């Protein structure tokens, strides 16, 4: 296929390079200098979109997505698909899909899970909203960039799945870190704690696959000084999106709300920015009862 790729940062760059390595013609644009190995560089988002079968975007937020969509939709040929892989608010995803449909285009919101490692390895999971026809057109590209793509429903459903998933992740990571901090103060060895919980009812992805305690369980950012695999500020972004969506849907999410406040304090008032979201463990371990 002929592909336009807009947003070639830590996630978009390796995704685009994987498509190029698979033999697709990829034209790429990013306002910041990027690794263009195998990618044809162009000077604007509209140039990347011109004549493309699929335009893929990986952008920081919904406002930027709306701005980029306004530039690329007029440049796209009828029948092409605009596939946004950013994590943005549901309203922005639905607005862009409506604009694309009005122009005779397909549109997908397809946020990802798997982090920078998954982007490089081509093992991402895509949560996709949009029409079945648009999903079928882009499915071969999902198969290159990831290991799984789930069609979650109509426009906005991909973003809904992503923010619900990451609300669970934020909450369970805090609970896992709290449990390790409590175990420390009770004199329970962290490895013994892991051995019990990882095979008991406290099992979770945060414990078993991404353990926040250094030297315990499989390799994770905790074993690399909490250098981010998934930065705390990105977790905060996703949690805030979940609470924005909950406000709009009149949904009661008390644990999601509390997790948002804790990550907000960690990132904006403490030392969380630039650290992995699992660095909540040393934060909690250093605090006493009632210190917040």
pLDDT reported for residue 26: 97
pLDDT reported for residue 185: 97
pLDDT reported for residue 99: 98
Cα 162 from Cα 112, distance rounded (Å): 7
Two tokens at 74? 């007029």
Q: How confident is the model at residue 224 (pLDDT cuts 50, 70, 90)?
A: very high
Two tokens at 189? 């060895």
Catalytic residue among 2, 148, 162, 227: 162
Helices 132-145 & 12-21 angle (0-180, nearest 10): 90
Quote the pTM value. Answer: 0.92
- Report the candidate in 44, 45, 50, 52 with the shortest Cα–Cα distance to residue 24: 52
Q: Is the pLDDT of residue 77 over 80?
A: yes
Q: Where are the domains of the chain?
A: 2-154, 160-286
Cα 125 from Cα 131, distance rounded (Å): 18
CATH number of this structure's domain 160-286: 1.10.1040.10
Cα 178 from Cα 185, distance rounded (Å): 11
Q: Is the pLDDT of residue 78 over 90?
A: yes
Q: What is the CA radius of gyration of the chain?
A: 20
Q: Is 162 an annotated catalytic residue?
A: yes
Instruction: Report the topology of domain 2-154.
Output: Rossmann fold (3.40.50)
Per residue in 238-292, pLDDT (tens digit) is 999 999 999 999 999 999 999 999 999 999 999 999 999 999 999 999 999 988 7
pLDDT reported for residue 32: 87
What's the mean pLDDT when you consider all of the chain?
96
């Amino acid at each position: 296929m002929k592909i336009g790729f807009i947003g070639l940062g830590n996630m978009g760059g390796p995704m685009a390079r994987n498509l190029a390595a698979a033999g697709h013609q990829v034209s790429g644009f990013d306002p910041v200098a990027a690794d263009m190995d195998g990618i044809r560089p162009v000077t604007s988002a509209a140039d990347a979109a011109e004549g493309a079968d699929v335009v893929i975007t990986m952008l920081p937020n919904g406002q930027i997505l709306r701005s980029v969509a306004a530039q690329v939709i007029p440049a796209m040929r009828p029948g092409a698909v605009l596939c946004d892989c950013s994590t943005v608010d549901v309203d922005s995803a639905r607005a862009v899909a409506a604009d694309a449909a009005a122009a005779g285009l397909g549109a997908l919101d397809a946020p990802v899970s798997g982090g920078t490692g998954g982007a490089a390895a081509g093992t991402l999971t895509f949560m996709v909203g949009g029409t079945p026809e648009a999903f079928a057109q882009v499915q071969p590209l999902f198969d290159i960039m990831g290991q799984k793509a789930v069609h979650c429903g109509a426009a906005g459903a991909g973003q809904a799945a992503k923010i619900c998933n990451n609300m669970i992740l934020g909450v369970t990571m805090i609970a896992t870190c709290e449990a390790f901090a409590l175990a420390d103060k009770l004199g329970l060895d962290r490895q013994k704690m892991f051995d019990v919980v990882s095979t008991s009812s406290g099992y979770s992805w945060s414990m078993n696959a991404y353990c926040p305690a250094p030297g315990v369980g499989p390799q994770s950012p905790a074993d690399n000084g909490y250098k981010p695999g998934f930065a705390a500020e990105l977790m905060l972004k996703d949690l805030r999106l979940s609470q924005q969506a909950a406000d709009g849907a009149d949904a009661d999410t008390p644990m999601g709300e509390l997790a948002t406040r804790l990550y907000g304090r960690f990132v904006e008032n403490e030392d969380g920015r630039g650290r992995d979201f699992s660095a909540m463990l040393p934060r909690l371990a250093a605090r006493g009862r009632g210190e917040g």
